[in-house]
Amino acid sequence: MKRIILSNRDRIKNRIRSKVKGREERPRLTVFKSNKFTYAQIIDDNQGKTLVEANSASMKAKKMDAAIEIGKEIAKKAKAANITKVVFDRNGYKYTGRILALAEAAREAGLEF
């Protein structure tokens, strides 16, 4: 029997995902960050579909500034898609830095979570 070894972030991510579910009335806003870019998407887990997405791949801003812009952009796109309330999924990352900046910018732009 082969044993699967998970990283700390993967264990935390699995624990969060067991509790956080995106529904039709409150889809899930999930965030991923790589060394260069930040990605955010709003997902309806019942249908398994991405409703709205935004990323910093085409932006020329610094990482923190890009995270703030992504938060504003995802909130603007969500409003256009008639989404006002979401469940925030930090995806195993600590709630600081780019994750915090993105979340606060999305809240200021009108998303509720």
For 40-93, write each residue's pLDDT tens digit: 999 999 999 999 999 999 999 999 999 999 999 999 999 999 999 999 999 999
Q: What is the dihedral of CA 90, 105, 97, 27, to 10 degrees?
A: 0
Q: Which domains are delineated in the chain?
A: 8-108 (3.30.420.100)
So what's the pLDDT on residue 50?
95
Q: What is the pTM of this model?
A: 0.88
